[in-house]
Amino acid sequence: MGNANLTFDDYLGLNACLLEWVESYDRKDWVRLRNCLAPELQIDYSAFLNKRWNDMPADEFVAMISSPQVLGNALLKTQHLVGASKWEAVGPDEVVGVHQTRSAHQRYTDPTIAEVAVKGHAHSTCTLRYKKLGGEWKFAGLRPDFRWAEGDFDQVFANSPPTGKKTIVVVGATGKQGGSVVRTFLQLPGWHVRALTRRPASDEARRLSNAGAEVVQGNLEDTASLIEAFEGAHAIFLNTDFWETYVPRKEARLAAGESPEPASDEAFRRETTNGRNAIVAAAAVPTLERLVYSALNLDPADPACRTTRSKHSLAKARIVEYIETKQPGLGRKTSFVIPGAYMTNAIISPRFEPGRGQYVLTSPVRDDFPMPVLDPHASMGPFVRALVEDEDAGVKLLAYDDILTSRQVAEKWGRASLRDVVLNVRTSREFHDEMGVPWELLDAMDHCNALGKYAAYADLMEPHQLRNPVAKRPFEVWLEGRDWQEQGKELGQA
């Protein structure tokens, strides 16, 4: 059948359909794409994917094209330019169009769309099928004949989640815990890493992007941004932060001559709201297999929850409780990681006291208390990997590299730094009254003293009980990596 069968109205209708197809791609307008499709399509990607679909439903085609692996990646801009065309009627209300095409792709480093990460353009001849349905021409099939590529076309889709990989979304990705999770999962061939940050243009976010993570903008204050960021996730690592709210509020109150304690309530409200926002968004992700929430040592069932002034511990206990009691469906997919005190934590960091002329480890914790300690940079990622890949859901893992009493900390710290360290155990009341340390920090320590252990959770898993135990980083090894000269300056000693 020849072109004689095409009327000028058909010609205009076919051109309109062609424009709808390319414009919907370039504008990422998936409703517009759906509207220009026939109910079923013949898709022949033999030229570059070695795949063909004879009767692909229109919705499936839209899902494929709009997925983050293909054109759904918000960092990817395209222009599908059509050159000369030849039209041929091949049946009643059925036309084949052969079109010269150049598909230009440009992927940016982050959602500010300021810096280009990679460019690559495909030069092809595309054969399209069109069907007239209800008097309107619809796109009914495609066979691109790929000729050659300009630029780094093979790299254009590199930061998109490739088919066959699972996606982990990391909340707190630019931080200590989340950064470790990102680095660990980037090393795993089966995972694509999506890093959430409020500031995609920050140095840390750019480092994550350069290392191969998909960086997306999101804020725990904004549930819509979380729903978007969690789309298609198989795993989510969730860390909520207390101190970013607490510290400036506390400083402002102190500067105004007021008690710092109400700052705890403000930070508590914000952290628990942020946690709930993330949980509601995570509960709506059908692909999700595992949520790992970074909790703390206060068990929601502990009577201390009613009285504690350490709201950073309480906020995380309330978030655990919310997941377990209010979101049982999500709860069945969730595990908790309970990090020990960071190795940089003040309670295990001796300070130089000029008055005494020596280093002193002043601690409100009993000198024989076995404190689990963690290097979050090195070890959080491997522990989270174990909870995602090796263990069933429902685990509460106490994550630590070492367990140390204050006496052992003082002794090991002294040996590594070649300095004498004196241990000075004081009561929390003395810390508060004489040194002005807020109860926010002290109640949690008193709770450890009263319990005689770090965490009261009944069903706590220890690192050695993991199916594949994680390589631990003993405190001595961590100390070896310190720059003692720098540390001396930082702590006020020449």
Ligand X SMILES: NC(=O)c1ccc[n+]([C@@H]2O[C@H](COP(=O)([O-])OP(=O)(O)OC[C@H]3O[C@@H](n4cnc5c(N)ncnc54)[C@H](OP(=O)(O)O)[C@@H]3O)[C@@H](O)[C@H]2O)c1
The minimum distance between CB 344 and ligand X, in angstroms, equals 7
Is 177 one of the binding residues for ligand X (CB under 6 A)? yes
Q: Given candidates 105, 107, 312, 318, which one binds ligand X under the rule CB under 6 A?
A: 312
Q: Given candidates 34, 77, 198, 366, which one binds ligand X under the rule CB under 6 A?
A: 198
* Residues 6 or more apart in contact with residue 228 via CB below 8 angstroms: 216, 218
Residues 113-142 that bind ligand X (CB under 6 A): none
Phi, psi of 166 (to 5 degrees): -90, 155
Nearer to ligand X, 199 or 482 (CB): 199
Catalytic residue selected from 80, 192, 234, 447 = 80
Nearer to ligand X, 72 or 339 (CB): 339
As given in the structure block, the two tokens for residue 244 are: 């970013």
Report strand pairing: 191-197 vs 76-91. unpaired
Is 407 one of the binding residues for ligand X (CB under 6 A)? no
Helices 243-255, 311-321: crossing angle, 10 deg rounding: 150
Please count the helices (runs of H) and the strands (runs of E) in the chain. 16, 20
**Residue 426 to residues 206, 366, 407, 409, 430, Cα–Cα distance (Å):** 44, 9, 14, 16, 6
Nearer to ligand X, 167 or 197 (CB): 197
Q: In what order do the strands lie in the sheet with 52-57?
A: 52-57, 37-44, 136-151, 116-133, 94-108, 76-91
Please report where in the chains the tokens 């059509």 appear, as a residue.
Answer: 82
- Stretch of 117-125, 256-264, 339-347, 422-430 lying at the interface with ligand X (CB under 6 A): 339-347
Is 475 one of the binding residues for ligand X (CB under 6 A)? no
Is 178 one of the binding residues for ligand X (CB under 6 A)? yes
Active site residue 80: yes
Please report where in the chains the tokens 């076995």 appear, as a residue.
Answer: 370
The minimum distance between CB 228 and ligand X, in angstroms, equals 13
The minimum distance between CB 245 and ligand X, in angstroms, equals 8
234, 280 Cβ separation under 8 angstroms:
no
Nearer to ligand X, 71 or 267 (CB): 267
* Residues 6 or more apart in contact with residue 85 via CB below 8 angstroms: 18, 97, 98, 99, 100
Is 72 one of the binding residues for ligand X (CB under 6 A)? no
Residues 221-250 that bind ligand X (CB under 6 A): 221, 239-244
Nearer to ligand X, 172 or 364 (CB): 172
Nearer to ligand X, 216 or 285 (CB): 216
149, β-bridge pairs: 122
Nearer to ligand X, 82 or 208 (CB): 208
Q: Given candidates 35, 85, 100, 219, which one binds ligand X under the rule CB under 6 A?
A: 219
Is 251 one of the binding residues for ligand X (CB under 6 A)? no
Is 401 one of the binding residues for ligand X (CB under 6 A)? no
- The site string for ligand X over 426-465 (x = CB under 6 A, - otherwise) reads ----------------------------------------
Is 176 one of the binding residues for ligand X (CB under 6 A)? yes
Is 101 one of the binding residues for ligand X (CB under 6 A)? no
Could you tell me how many residues of this chain bind ligand X (CB under 6 A)?
A: 27
**Residue 134, phi-psi category: left (phi > 0), alpha (psi -120 to 50), beta (remainder):** left
The minimum distance between CB 276 and ligand X, in angstroms, equals 13
In the three-class reduction of DSSP (H, G, I as helix; E, B as strand; rest coil), residue 488 is classed as helix
The minimum distance between CB 5 and ligand X, in angstroms, equals 59
Residues 342-381 that bind ligand X (CB under 6 A): 342, 345
Nearer to ligand X, 97 or 172 (CB): 172
Determine the Cα–Cα distance for residues 228 and 240; give it in Å rounded to an integer.
Answer: 18
Q: Given candidates 97, 141, 331, 339, which one binds ligand X under the rule CB under 6 A?
A: 339
Question: CA-CA-CA-CA torsion for 458, 464, 465, 470, nearest 10 degrees?
Answer: 120
Residues 272-291 that bind ligand X (CB under 6 A): 274
**Residue 370 to residues 302, 337, 353, 364, Cα–Cα distance (Å):** 20, 19, 25, 13
Catalytic residue selected from 99, 105, 121, 447 = 105
Nearer to ligand X, 78 or 277 (CB): 277
As given in the structure block, the two tokens for residue 63 are: 């899902």
* Residues 6 or more apart in contact with residue 136 via CB below 8 angstroms: 13, 17
Is 172 one of the binding residues for ligand X (CB under 6 A)? yes
SS (H, E, C) 188-244: CCCEEEEEEECCCCCHHHHHHHHCCCEEEECCCCCHHHHHHHHCCCCEEEECCCCHH
Determine the Cα–Cα distance for residues 192 and 214; give it in Å rounded to an integer.
Answer: 8
- Stretch of 252-260, 320-328, 340-348, 385-393 lying at the interface with ligand X (CB under 6 A): 340-348
Determine the Cα–Cα distance for residues 427 and 41; give it in Å rounded to an integer.
Answer: 74
The minimum distance between CB 442 and ligand X, in angstroms, equals 15
Binding-site ranges for ligand X (CB under 6 A): 172-178, 197-199, 202, 219-221, 239-244, 274, 296, 312, 339, 341-342, 345
- Active-site residue numbers? 80, 105
